[in-house]
Structure 1
Amino acid sequence: MDNLTHGLLGLAIGAMRKPDVRPGAPERASPTDRAVLVASVLAAELPDLDTLLARGDAVTVALQAHRGLSHALVAAPLVALTATLAARALFRGARLAPVFLTSLASVVFAHLLPDLWTGWGTRVLLPFSDSRLSLDWTMVVDPWVTLPLLAGAILAWRRRADWRRTLLWSAACSVAYVGFRVATWAVLTQRVEAAYPAAQAVRVFPLPFSVSTWRYVATLPGDVFAAGEVPLAGPPSEARRAEATGSTLPEHVQAVPTVREALAWARFPLVHMEPLAEGGQKVRIADLRYHLRGEPTLAFVIHLDASNAVTHAQLERGGSASELLRKWRSADTAAP
């Protein structure tokens, strides 16, 4: 998820702890109460600092940044401890245990889990496994997850006497929406499986800014991908079939670390290689799970020289946001 959502989720998790109540004391938050809220937000944001450590070409950085060891479950206690120590330095006298435990919950449930439920996925099993896991429930940026949390934070600031209940209600709305997405994902997956009974595998993916329509890819016998869209209130609509080409690259090209990283990212790879005028090869690795009416909108382009060294690498998103919107509208117009 995006950093704003991470931070707002962390704030909501911090609000779940009941504040200290001291008989006879004025109604002010204790140092522990304040440290819990600050540490929860910090713990929800700290894992993404790994983007500062990513090195290499644009493809390697794009795939490894935000998905390094700081996003692993084994590192969660260390991230939580870092947030705890920072918050206790700000608020002297804050108790260690409640601040640390809330921070740990924030790392797991405000950062690792939301990254896991996106289509991009994350490597939560590092260093034991380099696999990128994904639940495919939402896009990385989903306004229907973020807006209730943001509205709750604004209202909590304005209505400070009832701030905790306001934050919890806003978090409940976001959680309910994610629950709806999970149920929708399950229903639509079954519907696509029924439409392709011979499919070896079926995956359903979120569509940007859409609640009722999802993308899908079915792997058919003969290493063929069938891609299309499936609405909540209708049958799947296939847009394209394409041969899986992930294994067509020569072994010496697949061995290039940047190429290998892009191939590991692409779950439904469409690969194209062509010679460059100045020598060497241009390798384009697209993933059909990011498609617009069957045409991939996200691809990594890697230029290799004659010795297989990377001379240029970039992420292609299929154009600007306005260009993608025009393509979407033209596809709708052309559809029967």
Structure 2
Amino acid sequence: MDNLTHGLLGLAIGALRRPDAPPGARASPTDRAVLVASVLAAELPDLDTLLASGDAVTVALQAHRGLSHSLLFTPVVALGATGVARALFRGARTGPVFLASLASVLFAHLLPDLWTGWGTRLLLPFSDARLSLDWTMVVDPWVTLPLVVSAVVAWRQRARWRRALLVGLACSAAYVGARVASWGVLTRRVEATYPEARTVRVFPLPFSVGTWRYVATLPDGVLAAGDVPLAGEPREARRVASSVDALPEDVRAVRPVREALAWARFPVVSLKTVDGGREVRIDDLRYHLRGEPTLGFVIRLDPANAVTQARMERGGSASELLRRWRGGAATPATHGGDAGTPVP
């Protein structure tokens, strides 16, 4: 999730602990330390972005959501947040502050990252697998808005701050619960439409509550992509060949290419000659608008397979994506056999 949502979730989780001071009274040092530590613990894992180095592909896929986002590292993050909060509020008790920090790392940062489509690597350093539940986008205003409103109410009506924060948390949790139920229903609906599919996956659509996107892997390796509304049948927009197997081994061995292929769950790959070298494009069809990929990585190689450029592309400008999201025509399935082009 985005950092605003992480922080607000941390604040709400800090409010789950019953304060030492009665309602309306000045908060105790422990009460204040718990709230501050919870917010800090919810934000600290993303400091890994400040330490990132290397090409854009490696930074996006390896440096961020690395060890600081793992379950093993959770107590370290909680201890850091506890230490800062206790330094700010002398006299605060360590136990409640640490427990609130630990809960905040788990439920305000790691869990929200897990339920997004991008996913996170919780099992580092034992496994590099990127786990994802695909319930919401990384930025979902319907998760964030109740938390923002509750924080504003808590600030303005400080005698009832805890109740306001908990109501906001309950509203956000109810929304995520509804997303989980929708995901399950729509997954079964798409599976019924493609009984021959090897895998079927349903993904959130940006800023949409009633419509999701899906990808189905058919027996011949072709990927079928489309949208599925809550009240209706799946609408296929495109079928496309992945063509990962056609990528030469020497190109696959290049680190940014290897990282992008490991990240993409439904990869659409193309390779072409550019300025005497080669350009590899790896899109992931789970990020699509009406069958057209909207997120991918482009890596340029010189004749010796050294990386000369590596970048992430988001499928066009913001205005183009908005136009397509609002209702651009679906791309019909056409004939073709090249990597990254529609196939029957």
TM over 0.5: yes
**Could you say if the C-alpha distance between residues 333 and 270 of structure 1 is closer, same or farther in structure 2, counting changes exceeding 3 Å?**
closer
How does 1:15-94 map onto structure 2 within 5 Å?
15-21=15-21, 27-94=25-92
How does 1:239-278 map onto structure 2 within 5 Å?
239-277=237-275
- Name segments (4+ residues, structure 1) moved above 4 Å: 332-335
Q: 1-side partners of 2:280 and 2:330: how far apart?
A: 33
Deviation of 1:323 after TM superposition, in Å, equals 1.4
Which ranges of structure 2 fall in alignment gaps of 5 or more residues?
Answer: 333-344
Q: 1-side partners of 2:270 and 2:318: how far apart?
A: 25
Select the residue among 110, 113, 120 that pairs with 1:112.
110
Residue aligned with 1:234, SS: coil
Letter in 2 for 1:226: A
Deviation of 1:332 after TM superposition, in Å, equals 4.4
- Per-residue Cα deviation, 1:16-70 (whole angstroms, up to 9, x for no partner): 0000148xx9921110000000000000000000011221101111112431100
Letter in 2 for 1:293: R
Residue aligned with 2:328, SS: helix
Letter in 1 for 2:72: V
Q: 1-side partners of 2:325 and 2:53: how far apart?
A: 35
Q: 1-side partners of 2:80 and 2:108: how far apart?
A: 16
Q: 2-side partners of 1:182 and 1:133: how far apart?
A: 16
- Per-residue Cα deviation, 1:173-222 (whole angstroms, up to 9, x for no partner): 00000000000000000000000011111000000000010000001101
Q: Is the 8 A contact 1:227 1:294 kept in 2?
A: yes
Select the residue among 277, 292, 295 that pairs with 1:295.
292
Q: 2-side partners of 1:328 and 1:47: how far apart?
A: 32
Q: Is the 8 A contact 1:13 1:105 kept in 2?
A: yes
Deviation of 1:333 after TM superposition, in Å, equals 8.8
Q: 2-side partners of 1:107 and 1:248: how far apart?
A: 42
Q: 1-side partners of 2:229 and 2:145: how far apart?
A: 24
Q: 1-side partners of 2:325 and 2:201: how far apart?
A: 22
Letter in 2 for 1:170: G
Select the residue among 318, 323, 343 that pairs with 1:321.
318
Residue aligned with 1:247, SS: helix
Deviation of 1:85 after TM superposition, in Å, equals 0.2
Compute the TM-score of the two structures, normalised by the length of structure 2: 0.94
Q: Percent identity?
A: 75
Q: 2-side partners of 1:63 and 1:3: how far apart?
A: 18
Q: 2-side partners of 1:243 and 1:26: how far apart?
A: 63
1:177 aligns with 2:200: no
Aligned length: 332
- Per-residue Cα deviation, 1:50-93 (whole angstroms, up to 9, x for no partner): 01122110111111243110000000000000000000000001
Compute the TM-score of the two structures, normalised by the length of structure 1: 0.96
Q: Is the 8 A contact 1:47 1:66 kept in 2?
A: no
Q: 2-side partners of 1:333 and 1:4: how far apart?
A: 34
Deviation of 1:122 after TM superposition, in Å, equals 0.4
Letter in 1 for 2:2: D
Q: Specify the alignment match of 2:140 in structure 1.
A: 142
1:219 aligns with 2:217: yes
Letter in 1 for 2:145: L
Q: Specify the alignment match of 2:309 in structure 1.
A: 312
Q: Specify the alignment match of 2:328 in structure 1.
A: 331
Q: Specify the alignment match of 1:200 in structure 2.
A: 198
Deviation of 1:321 after TM superposition, in Å, equals 1.6
Q: Specify the alignment match of 2:12 in structure 1.
A: 12
Alignment RMSD: 1.5
**Could you say if the C-alpha distance between residues 59 and 198 of structure 1 is closer, same or farther in structure 2, counting changes exceeding 3 Å?**
same
Residue aligned with 2:162, SS: helix
- Per-residue Cα deviation, 1:302-332 (whole angstroms, up to 9, x for no partner): 0001111110011111112211112334624
Greater CA drift, 62-71 or 131-140: 62-71
Q: 2-side partners of 1:313 and 1:103: how far apart?
A: 37
Residue aligned with 2:98, SS: helix
Q: Is the 8 A contact 2:238 2:331 kept in 1?
A: no
